[in-house]
Amino acid sequence: MQLNKYKNLFKGKTILVADDVDDVLFYYRALLQVTGVNIVEARSGNEVLSICRKNPDIDLIMLDIQMPNGDGMYTLNKLKEMKSNASVIAQTAHALPTDRSKYMRLGFDDYICKPLRSETLFQILEDHLNGLDEEPRK
């Protein structure tokens, strides 16, 4: 994949990556380094909520469905109660063909399955981060 086209593309944006697997967090850091995005990490649902309370300007959350201390669904519901403006993307290794529509119906803004494909990840980021400065957020 040609990463040069993503150089500084997301500069000034903040992504919270929530996953309890160190290799997944490392992958995000390594892949997204070129984009200029600020990456914040959480290893549990409760940590996601704590970070979002302290940092309301987070633009996007990559939220693992199966995490300790607050799974993805619990965490999403709490984020909605907090009136978070961040786009929340479900990520899971337990993928079925119908999962995308299922997670969208449950209130997620998008869905990605593991193992992560860089092309899919960058498309999701472009879809949800580009234009945030030009149009009102939900």
Residue 129 lies in a domain: no
Q: Is the pLDDT of residue 136 over 60?
A: no
111-133 exposure pattern, b = at least 16 Cβ within 10 A, e = fewer? bbbbebeeeebbebbeebbeebe
| Stretch 65-90: mean pLDDT | 94
Residue 77 lies in a domain: yes
Residue 8 lies in a domain: yes
pLDDT of residue 119: 93
Residue 135 lies in a domain: no
pLDDT tens digit sequence for 49-61? 999 999 999 999 9
Residue 132 lies in a domain: no
The domain that contains 79 carries what CATH number? 3.40.50.2300
Residue 76 lies in a domain: yes
